[in-house]
A and B are shown apart, each in its own frame.
Chain A
Amino acid sequence: MERDAIAAFSVLKMTEILINATLIGILVAIPLSFLSYFVVMRKMTFAGVGIAHASFGGIALGFLLGYESFIFPLVFCVLSSLFIGFLYKKGGFSEDSVIDVVFVFSMAFGIFILSLSNGYSGNVLGLLFGDILSVNKSYIVPVLIVFFLSMLFVSYFFSHLNLITYNEDLARINGVRVDLLYYLFWIVLSILIVFSIRLIGIVLVNAFLVLPTLIGLNVSKNFKGVIGVGILSSIVSVAGGVAISYYVNTPTGATIVLLFFALWMLSFLFKI
């Protein structure tokens, strides 16, 4: 009797974890699919890699201070993205080279800090490749807020971002505050990446930034179609990836990315 109750409780708990992970995954994947369109069109796909790895330093610092929260990686990612943006705009360096520097610095800083955390045996693999168990209920409200704010940003400024992507000078002449939107874009991207990391991991999070648009571009020639297909493929990858990882007992992040990759391969059959 007691054993049955424990088993039932475990099933309920697991179901709750799966629902939370799927919900949170979808809530970050939808705005990321929108941003993915601009990231791919502006050829800044390496940005996601840099920002995601920047979070490692923040997470490590959180461990050292004994305070596990999304605040540390969030601050690290936002500051890193602003630093990347500033050096690119004002320093005359290419985006890729600056991202590379931030990437290696953050990883080195994270490893250095973790080595100082005596007795730390935390789940580094979980950080790097995602851990479904780390996505708990307390994440839902912040993710919901992030979802609404990022969707508000990207849909309100869609025509502005589209014009900037087409030609920055033209956007300036039309009164678009190109630099401000550029930094806001990086901040929104950073926040979404931080909230994706727990589920999918630092190493794999860039899949959310590249694959939606690559799949969309295979299936549709029109920007609305590209984004729509990207959103759909993200939702299928997250929901399917979480479900498969549960039944096959595989790491969730890797399963989501493999499913995403499979959809990309499949999309070549529909290539226009």
Chain B
Amino acid sequence: MNIIEAKNITLIRDNKKVLEDVSFDVGKGEFVAIIGPNGAGKTTLVKIMTGLLKPSRGEIKISGVEPDNFISKRRGAVGYLPQKAIVNWNMPLKVLDVVLIEKLSPFSFFRKYSKEDVERAEYWLEVFGIKGKMNTYIKDLSGGEQQRVSLARCMFNEPEILILDEPNTAVDAVYNVKIYETLRKLCDNRDITVIMVTHDIGAVTMYVDKVMCLNIKLHCHSSPSTIDYSDMLKKVYGENVNMVIHGERCDSCVFGAKNDRNTY
């Protein structure tokens, strides 16, 4: 069953096509990677999926309705991780404050967090391996740790769809694997749909169900095993790019057994 359906999406900005005739669908519980060079329209596409931007032409539906309708009717059903650079990491907030930052309630300044909220936040921080830093201030975290806090924040409302714009920015190779593993398990065990923009075009292929290769136009949208990579890379990136495809799981890259949870 498709949860997202997009037909002929075109976005024109300043008389320039940022996206052209992009059509795709995403099934419920699928893990999809969007890859492409800088300026390919990846962030624009995820902003259209979240209702932050409207396409100039074409239509996109989430569960049969427009994204902004879906999001306003089902608050918390979409978890969104914006690009790291546009998040204000200098605020005097603890990790716990950030995980709970989407809880909007009047007069919150004068209230304490509920026990249930703190426990849920702790759970997701543990899933992303950052619970130990729950009381650390966000500006004191490394870039990779900040991204893992953002992932825990995205999961706090236990959304149906996760839309992640470069979640692995500043994340080291080891934690990258852990994040992909975790996202894969969220799809498999919780039926969560994950759409992830990434530049990690090699390693990601072993975790995702579909790869969308975007450079203003959508050049491919299929299972990683069926893609002709040399042809795709030439079309999308415009030149030859060396790429290591990971065919099977790299056990040595995966975290220790105690962190390797079967269900999330």
Decide if A162 touches B101 in the complex (CB within 8 Å): yes
| CB-defined contacts of B104 to chain A, threshold 8 Å | 159-160, 163, 174-176
Known: A160-B104, A169-B80. A175 touches B86 (CB 8 A): no
Q: Find residues 160-206 in chain A having any chain B CB closer than 8 Å to their own CB.
A: 160, 162-163, 165-167, 169-170, 172-176
**Is B92's beta carbon under 8 Å from chain A?**
yes
Q: Find residues 88-121 in chain B having any chain A CB closer than 8 Å to their own CB.
A: 88, 90-94, 97-98, 101-110
Q: Measured between alpha carbons, how far is A109 from B229 in the docked complex, in Å?
A: 65
Instruction: Count how many chain B residues have C-beta atoms less than 8 Å from C-beta atoms of the other chain.
Output: 31
Known: A159-B108, A160-B104, A163-B101. A172 touches B88 (CB 8 A): no
Known: A166-B101, A217-B92, A222-B92. A173 touches B108 (CB 8 A): no
Q: Measured between alpha carbons, how far is A159 from B108 in the docked complex, in Å?
A: 6
**Is B51's beta carbon under 8 Å from chain A?**
yes
| CB-defined contacts of B47 to chain A, threshold 8 Å | 169
Q: Measured between alpha carbons, how far is A104 from B75 in the docked complex, in Å?
A: 45
A34 to chain B: closest residue by CB: B109
Mask, B36-67, CB within 8 Å of A = 1, is 00000000000100111000000000000000
| CB-defined contacts of B107 to chain A, threshold 8 Å | 155-156, 158
**Is B33's beta carbon under 8 Å from chain A?**
no
**Is A221's beta carbon under 8 Å from chain B?**
yes
A213 to chain B: closest residue by CB: B92
**Is B242's beta carbon under 8 Å from chain A?**
no
Q: Measured between alpha carbons, how far is A226 from B94 in the docked complex, in Å?
A: 13
With contacts defined as CB atoms under 8 Å apart, how many contacts are there between chain A and chain B in the complex? 81
Q: Measured between alpha carbons, how far is A155 from B109 in the docked complex, in Å?
A: 7
Q: Measured between alpha carbons, how far is A217 from B137 in the docked complex, in Å?
A: 13
Q: Measured between alpha carbons, how far is A76 from B107 in the docked complex, in Å?
A: 31
**Is B144's beta carbon under 8 Å from chain A?**
no
Decide if B109 touches A165 in the complex (CB within 8 Å): no
| CB-defined contacts of A217 to chain B, threshold 8 Å | 92
Interface centre among A163, A172, A176 (most CB of B within 10 A): A172
Decide if B110 touches A155 in the complex (CB within 8 Å): yes
**Is A224's beta carbon under 8 Å from chain B?**
yes
| CB-defined contacts of B80 to chain A, threshold 8 Å | 169-170, 173
**Is B1's beta carbon under 8 Å from chain A?**
no
Q: Measured between alpha carbons, how far is A174 from B92 in the docked complex, in Å?
A: 21
Decide if A158 touches B101 in the complex (CB within 8 Å): no
B90 to chain A: closest residue by CB: A41
Decide if B103 touches A159 in the complex (CB within 8 Å): yes
| CB-defined contacts of B93 to chain A, threshold 8 Å | 166, 222-223
Q: Measured between alpha carbons, how far is A41 from B91 in the docked complex, in Å?
A: 6
Interface centre among B80, B97, B109, B137 (most CB of A within 10 A): B109
Decide if A173 touches B109 in the complex (CB within 8 Å): no
Q: Measured between alpha carbons, how far is A29 from B103 in the docked complex, in Å?
A: 28
Decide if A222 touches B87 in the complex (CB within 8 Å): no
Q: Which of B50, B78, B109 contacts A224 (CB 8 A)?
A: B109
CB distance from B84 to the nearest CB of A (A): 10
B89 to chain A: closest residue by CB: A166
Q: Find residues 213-232 in chain A having any chain B CB closer than 8 Å to their own CB.
A: 217, 220-227
| A41-B88, A173-B51 known, 20 other contacts, Cβ within 8 Å | A155-B110, A156-B107, A157-B106, A159-B108, A162-B101, A166-B87, A166-B98, A166-B101, A167-B86, A169-B47, A169-B52, A173-B50, A173-B80, A174-B75, A175-B71, A175-B75, A176-B104, A220-B92, A221-B92, A226-B92
Binding site for A on B (CB under 8 A): 47, 50-52, 71-72, 75, 78, 80, 82, 86-88, 90-94, 97-98, 101-110, 137
